[in-house]
A and B are shown apart, each in its own frame.
Chain A
Amino acid sequence: MEEQLVETMSSDLPRSVAKGVTWMSSCLPFHLADRVIHGHNSTYLVQGEHSSILVDTGNPSSWPIISSTLDELLDGRELSYVFPTHPELPHTGNLPRLVEKYPNIQVVGDIRDYHLFYPQIVPNLHAKVPGDKVDLGGQEFVVVEALIRDLPNTQWGFAPGAGVLFTADGFCYMHRPELDDEDPVHLPGECGLTTGELQVPIAVENAAFFTGSALYWARFANDADAVYDRVLHLIDELGVTSVAPTHGNFISNIRDVEPIIRAGHKRAYRYETAQP
């Protein structure tokens, strides 16, 4: 069967998942021989009283549905900010379209390299560093150091009023043991479910497979405990109640999910016997 590579928005979404935070996930359908599976590619809209910020942009192939969803959620207001977590197509691919639609939008975050990829949006680029805050009116968005990342110019974000930590490719996972794709996947009908609502829990082998593929360095760096201890410290320090990854379901029970992801990350390391 011909591979379908056009993303669609699940009918279960957009969905409000915390105060002022809306989960807008488009899904990439993969047509396997005997079934269809989906891959989340989420964006999140954080809305305050006078401004809003979009976390990640989604793939260009999902732009029409993202654009119309923004129209619906913003109800005639301009989108003030977009926070691309890092410059890969699923996270930044719609930046030119967002600037065209909202000419005054501020692209905030670690914007190194963007002038080389998107020279036409240079006036919209505004560098931020961890600790910087964006006031949305009764709602803040705080830039946070990315503790799990692939590209070095990755940042996380946090909405204190909602308790939501936005982790880009961190905490991405698939949760079906029988699935065999390296991308974080789920079945149709599960697109809009939180991890607390999933009937089949995440398995360590799924987390290991995804981590070893998408966070390739986990094969070589045997430091999962150090990484996830820092993450837990950050969660405690900020008062995180839920985690919003770009790929994978919204995590409503982070204390249950973190040990599984940590164990999977440990298992992804390949050279245990090579250690002195």
Chain B
Amino acid sequence: MFTSLHADKLTVLGGNIPLDGRVSWVPQGATGFQPSNAYLLAEGTSSLLVDSGLAVHSEEILDDLAELIGEGGGVSIFFTRSEMDCVSNLERIAGRFDIERLFTGGVINPFDAFDDLSRMALRGRRHQIDAHRTEEGDSLARAAEIQIAPGRVLQVESPLLRLLPTFWGWDQETGTLFTSDTFTHGVMDRPDGQRIIDSTVEDTTTVEQVAGHLYAKYEWIPRSTCEPLREWLQDKFDTLDPEIIAPSRGCVLKGRDVVRRHLDFMLDALTPQLV
């Protein structure tokens, strides 16, 4: 079941992950349900999907996509990471829709994960977004742009806070910052719970919860020099002043007060001795 985040402009799709001890990226002993997210940015008849969700949710994601763009419709895709929680529905989507452009970084061409010969045709639709690297090995120093439609772009940047090659997206039109595998800490008690934390929801998030989720995957944070990460993050949010944080998994964080509160949680989590 998809949910509109910004009328006709931004929708979140995906399913829930039961936290039952079989998930590596949440704190040990975590319970409840974590949303797994793909986002559809729309402008007129053009659409850009940010990540493709989990294979285990493919049926609901593809059905929702069909309702939003029409059966067999055209869609471009941007992968924030080439990790399986982002890419594992690519083949299924390609089998049912027309992938017009695929924006991804890294060496591996995700289309080469396909079995069938159509991958050869699809490979030409891939756009490498980290073709230029700095001398220090940073894949992308500052923003590239993906045109969603004439007059509307998604700015893309490789964040300082990352684990593997990762790209954040910034959609100024909706004030949405796509943060991939950070800000993933919002979980639900029930599978039909509220997958968006906004001003209408009682927000029981704690800094310990944020830190627990961050350290589960970024296990090096507690033993690291975090000041540059905090400075980068603070600067990013001061500059963009986002209204929505849209992570690849976890509840969507909506509303500037909510965003600021969760940024503070994250900054504290990046000060490990305070947690």
Contacts and interface: CB of A to CB of B under 8 A. Distances in A.
A118 interface: yes
A206 to B, nearest CB: 11
B164 A152 contact: no
B24 A183 contact: no
Given A6-B112, A220-B225, A182 B23 contact: no
B178 to A, nearest CB: 19
A220 to B, nearest CB: 4
Interface in B209-232: 216-221, 223-229
Interface string B111-138: 0111100000001000010000100110
A252 to B, nearest CB: 26
Given A97-B115, A182-B137, A220 B229 contact: yes
A212 B24 contact: no
A247 to B, nearest CB: 10
A97 B83 CA distance: 19
Nearest to A115: B22
B82 interface: yes
B108 A90 contact: yes
Nearest to B229: A220
Contacts of B36: 116
B162 A221 contact: no
A153 interface: yes
Interface in A174-214: 182-183, 209, 212-213
A118 B85 contact: no
B163 interface: yes
Interface residues of A, number: 41
Contacts of B24: 110, 112-113, 151-153
A274 B227 CA distance: 8
B218 to A, nearest CB: 8
A35 to B, nearest CB: 17
A14 interface: no
Nearest to A274: B225
B55 A117 contact: yes
A213 B107 contact: no
A213 B137 contact: yes
Given A6-B112, A112-B23, A222-B225, A212 B136 contact: yes
B164 A216 contact: yes
Given A152-B25, A152-B217, A89 B164 contact: no
A90 B113 CA distance: 10
A79 B148 CA distance: 46
A116 B17 contact: yes
B22 A220 contact: no
B106 to A, nearest CB: 9
Nearest to B82: A89
Nearest to A183: B107
Given A151-B24, A212-B136, A212-B137, A220 B85 contact: no
A182 B133 contact: yes
Interface string A139-155: 00000000000111100
Interface string A60-71: 110000000000
18 contacts: A59-B108, A59-B112, A87-B83, A88-B82, A112-B22, A112-B24, A113-B23, A116-B17, A116-B56, A117-B55, A117-B84, A118-B88, A151-B163, A151-B217, A153-B24, A220-B226, A274-B225, A274-B227
Interface of B: 17, 22-25, 36, 54-56, 82-85, 87-88, 107-110, 112-115, 123, 128, 133, 136-137, 139, 162-164, 216-221, 223-229
Given A113-B24, A117-B56, 9 more contacts: A5-B109, A39-B107, A89-B84, A116-B84, A117-B88, A151-B164, A209-B137, A212-B137, A216-B163
